[in-house]
Amino acid sequence: MRRADSARGPAFHEQQGRIVSAHGRHYMVELDDGSLRKCFPRGKRSEATVGDYVMVTVQGEEGSIERILERRNLLYRSDEMRSKQFAANVDQLLIVVASEPMFSDDLAGRALVGAWSAGIAPIIVHNKADLPSTDAARQRLTPFRALGVPVVETIATDVEKTRRTLLPLLKGHTNLLLGQSAMGKSTLLNALVPDAGAATQEHSQALGAGKHTTTATRLYRLPEGGDLIDSPGFQAFGLYHLEPEEILRGFPEFHKPMEECRFYNCSHRHEPGCGVLAALKRGDIAPERHALYTRLLAENEARNSY
């Protein structure tokens, strides 16, 4: 479509694109023809994020983001002070853990809640599966397997095997790579996207952002189809932005027992006649999962009491 805007001179042609990287108020947008443009949001504030589909007007090598198209989902990380969106329109969340250093059960559990609450399918990628501590890591992943979460073992330094194992799972999807620092996430990225370093450099040069983009979220095209969004490593994964009903969506094993709760507004923590607590007592719900649920509710209640 064309529209005239006298404040900007002649008519501009709107094109659809997808945000593939960001730094401050600058965004790299890949247009439908495959070209990249450095774009700025129209207006003082931008709610755009990596993975967003947007309509842009282009003039030369730059453009303006006119509007964000409807999202399927939006992922946030948050702490007591603020929430920060970091990816949109994600199909699968790849939670990278490793045999060494040993991963955090709590952080992996929080990432699962974030995925399920947003309607995103999680996959756990168990990296460094050739180390002596692998059996201990497998044991710690047993509760996640029991929830039906696929666990895929990899050795990221074995590039060919990693590609054979993971690329078929990622094909045709937008995949978000998420994990604690030191889990080998960057090695996985380089195995799956051979030109990731070159793409990162190209984005950085276009944005004028230099080395600071190494802490940014970026989207890469997979060689066999699909997209891979790489996010910075984290040591905390807050979910303060979630409402109680959204937290519940992150615990699918609660959903059937909830039908037995005596009270419609049961919080599943202490009420008599609670189906979730009865399932917990029977061993149908893992104690560590219920403990995580109560922690998340307590954290959000504390934040909302400020």
Please give the Cα distance from 230 to 247 (Å, whole number). 24
Domain boundary among 174, 207, 230: 230
Q: What are phi and psi of 71, to 5 degrees?
A: -95, 150
No. of helices (H) and no. of strands (E), the chain: 9, 14
Do residues 95 and 163 both lie within one domain? Answer: yes
pLDDT of residue 15: 94
Do residues 164 and 82 both lie within one domain? Answer: yes
Q: What is the dihedral of CA 97, 101, 105, 110, to 10 degrees?
A: -60
Mapping DSSP onto H, E and C, the string for 46-77 reads CCCCCCCEEEEEEECCEEEEEEECCCCCEEEE
Residue 193 burial (CB count, 10 A): 21
Q: Is-contact 152 170, C-beta < 8 A?
A: no
Do residues 194 and 257 both lie within one domain? Answer: no
Do residues 133 and 223 both lie within one domain? Answer: yes
Q: Is-contact 106 97, C-beta < 8 A?
A: no
- 239 in a domain, yes or no? no
Do residues 98 and 198 both lie within one domain? Answer: yes
- Give the domain CATH number at 23: 2.40.50.140
pLDDT of residue 10: 45
pLDDT of residue 18: 97
Helix (H) or strand (E) holding 306: none
Question: What are the mean pLDDT values of the chain's consecutive 10-residue runs (306 residues total)?
Answer: 42 86 88 92 80 93 93 84 86 96 93 95 97 96 96 96 96 95 91 75 53 67 93 80 94 97 95 97 96 94 74
Do residues 80 and 209 both lie within one domain? Answer: yes
pLDDT of residue 241: 87
Would you put residue 210 in left (φ > 0), alpha (ψ -120 to 50) or beta? left
- Give the domain CATH number at 288: 1.10.40.50
Q: Is-contact 56 66, C-beta < 8 A?
A: yes
Domain boundary among 18, 52, 68: 68
Residue 225 burial (CB count, 10 A): 11
Please give the Cα distance from 207 to 26 (Å, whole number). 7
Domain total in the chain: 3
Do residues 84 and 56 both lie within one domain? Answer: no
Do residues 298 and 167 both lie within one domain? Answer: no
pLDDT of residue 84: 82
Query: Cα dist. 244→53, 98, 252, 262 in Å?
Result: 29, 31, 14, 18
For strand 121-127 and strand 151-153, is the pairing parallel, antiparallel, or unpaired? parallel
pLDDT of residue 59: 87
Could you tell me the residue range of the domain that residue 92 belongs to? 74-230
pLDDT of residue 234: 75
DSSP-derived secondary structure letter, 104: P
